[in-house]
Amino acid sequence: MSSQSKVNKVTRKSMLIRESGRSTDFITPSFGYGCLLNCSYCYMKRHLPKGLNVAQNYAQILSEVNNHAFFTNVEKPNQTHAEYTTYDISCNEDFALHAKFHKWEEIFTFFKEHPIAMASFATKVIPKQFLAFNPNKKVRIRFSLMPQSISTELEPNTPLILDRIKAINSFIDAGYDVHVNFSPVVHYNGWLADYEELFDQLDTHVKDEYKSQVKAEVIFLTHNEDKHVRNLEDNLTGEDLLWTPENQEKKVSQYGGKNIRYSYKHKPVFIKEWKKVHKDTIAWNTIRYIF
């Protein structure tokens, strides 16, 4: 097994449940930490460049979530969910990609049966094994989408974008809550035309009766200086799309990371342009948040 695909079983020591507020109400302690893909923009690669750590004490994590859910006052309805308190179970990995390393059925069953807590995770893969499990809308899958032209460069060895879109109906049929995750949104020459094509694909393939259910979160690109250097050293493709200093500014993250993001002059314009194409093409796709 290469260092890129090495999987370590660990005991998760930190049981901190962090506030989220955008994608979900909260973020659970990590069931997994790292990623076995090699996407150019991946923020996890900044912290763990190779391999994956999987928590053996997943039952302890679920116990902490249970205790937290019952004693946390969350105003509902809010944009994360109208009724349930939502927990991102995959903030530091792609849980669906790594499902074979997790007791995913036990984890899903916990959330399915819990009266308050609901699970949510984003993914770039199509976890067909999940289709045999009906979570009764207590597990939300957020399929990550971007134009195929840049997906090919930035997230190699992942399923085609069109296949992810076509999977939406199947997962709703199986009992999942399904949203789409436009992340990261990357600005480049021709980007709006490519996004219009992407939106057309969504409009064509999502069943009309499901369109009101499929909401969106939109996150514009944040890149990292150390990851930029590593990408160049590793000859990863697409760095010219991610590192564009002419329209980016430096931003130190809350954890001390040296990041770059679209500048305060450019980003509002980019967001306005993106939202117009989105509204003109798929107005039914409610945007939960965009930044």
CATH code of the domain covering residue 211: 3.80.30.30
Q: What would the mean pLDDT of 66-81 be, rounded to a whole number?
A: 96
Residue 4 has pLDDT above 70, yes or no: no
Start-end of H helices in 135-190? 148-154, 161-173
pLDDT at residue 252 in the model: 79
131 SS3 class: helix
Range in 7-11, 25-29, 39-43, 217-221 with the lowest mean pLDDT: 39-43
Assigned domain for 98 exists: yes
pLDDT at residue 271 in the model: 98
Q: Which residues of 232-268 are buried (b: 16+ CB within 10 A; e: fewer)?
A: eeeebebbebbbbeeebeeeeeeeebebbbbbeebbe
Assigned domain for 151 exists: yes
Q: In what order do the strands lie in the sheet with 52-55?
A: 7-10, 52-55, 32-34
pLDDT band at 1 (very low <50, low <70, confident <90, very high): very low
Assigned domain for 1 exists: no
Residue 2 has pLDDT above 50, yes or no: no
pLDDT digits (tens, 9 = 90+) for 267-290: 999 999 999 999 999 999 999 999
Assigned domain for 235 exists: yes
pLDDT at residue 50 in the model: 87
Rounded CA separation 91/60 (Å) = 18
Domains in the chain, number: 1
pLDDT band at 34 (very low <50, low <70, confident <90, very high): very high
Assigned domain for 97 exists: yes
pLDDT digits (tens, 9 = 90+) for 175-206: 999 999 999 999 999 999 999 999 999 999 99
Tell me the residue range of the domain where 60 lies: 7-290
pLDDT band at 160 (very low <50, low <70, confident <90, very high): very high
Q: What would the mean pLDDT of 146-169 be, rounded to a whole number?
A: 97
Torsions phi, psi for 55 (to 5 deg)? -75, 120
Percent of the chain whose predicted confidence (pLDDT) is above 90: 88
pLDDT band at 255 (very low <50, low <70, confident <90, very high): low
pLDDT band at 21 (very low <50, low <70, confident <90, very high): confident
Rounded CA separation 48/67 (Å) = 30
Residue 56 is encoded by which pair of tokens? Answer: 């053996």
pLDDT at residue 289 in the model: 98
Rounded CA separation 171/111 (Å) = 17
Rounded CA separation 119/270 (Å) = 31
pLDDT digits (tens, 9 = 90+) for 90-126: 999 999 999 999 999 999 999 999 999 999 999 999 9
pLDDT at residue 197 in the model: 98
Assigned domain for 2 exists: no
What integer best gives the mean pLDDT of the chain?
A: 95
Give, rounded to a whole angstrom, the gap between the first and last alpha carbons of the chain: 39
